[in-house]
Amino acid sequence: MLDLSPAEWTAVELSLRIALVATAFALPFGIAVGWLLARKQFWGKTLLDGLVYLPLVLPPVVTGYLLLISFGRKGPIGAFLADHFGIVLSFRWTGAALSCGVMGFPLMVRPIRLALEAIDRRLEDAAGTLGASPLLVFLTVTLPLALPGVIAGAVLCFARALGEFGATITFVSNIPGETQTISAAIYTFLQIPGGEAAAGRLVLVALAIALAALIASEWFARRAGMRFQGE
């Protein structure tokens, strides 16, 4: 029934790769920012808080445009990356991963921050008296206890990245085989006469992936939760 053409497969494979890379790169930053917001008082905290959630409220096209003027080849960050590290993001799938990561970031930070805020700090004190340095306390007590929140954040970010459209198409355009994700491909097929069948197939694929991600996250969350309940 689902007889995808090679071009459609490419879009599916590209979407998955972009969403996975975006989530993997966003995760360490998400944990760090979630921790800062949950635990630290510092000058500019309100500003950081606002900046993190900005992509959630800005029109995606505006976020994409801001990425274009800063990470584009002529943008300040883009030029720096290209000159010093040979990294080019504009019109590449890596750029799509960046925009997807940025769009998914607020959804990732929120559950991580809430999970960190819910942890009983007295357990961390206990770990300290048992000889664990602050870093070891974080790795052996804080992070494992926050794991359900971390998983929830990663899944939300992945889902957002998979469906991202506006910021990505503005930043890296809609190039088949390079930056054309499922969403962009569906949009493109709907623009051409007779493209409904191809669009329909991709819609089914998008549905299947979304369902699989939800089931997987549910399973992970239950397993993580079980570890606190006992056998």
Partner 1 sequence: MIVLAVAVEKQLGTFMLAARFEAAGGATALFGPSGAGKTTVVNVIAGLLTPDRGSIALDDTVLFDAAAGINVPPHRRRIGYVFQEGRLFPHLSVRQNLDYGRRMSGRPHDVKEFERIATMLDIGRLLDRRPRLLSGGERQRVAIGRALLMHPRLLLFDEPLASLDAGHKREILPYLVRLRDEAGVPMVYVSHTAAEVRRIATDVVRLDDGRVVACGGLDLLNGIDAETFG
User: Rule CB under 8 A: which residues touch partner 1?
Assistant: 122-123, 125-134, 136-137, 140-141, 144-145, 227-231
Give whichever of 129 and 191 is closer to partner 1, judged by the CB atom. 129
Strands (E), 118-212: none
Helix, strand, coil distribution of the chain in percent, nearest 5: 80, 0, 20
Give min distance, CB of 137 to partner 1, in A. Answer: 8
Question: What are 104's two structure tokens?
Answer: 């998914």
At residue 187, what are phi and psi to the nearest 5 degrees? -60, -45
Give whichever of 144 and 195 is closer to partner 1, judged by the CB atom. 144
- Which residue matches tokens 């770990």? 127
Give min distance, CB of 45 to partner 1, in A. Answer: 24
Give min distance, CB of 37 to partner 1, in A. Answer: 23
Distance separating alpha carbons of residues 103 and 158, to the nearest angstrom: 10
Give min distance, CB of 174 to partner 1, in A. Answer: 45
Distance separating alpha carbons of residues 26 and 100, to the nearest angstrom: 10
Give whichever of 131 and 193 is closer to partner 1, judged by the CB atom. 131
Give whichever of 137 and 172 is closer to partner 1, judged by the CB atom. 137
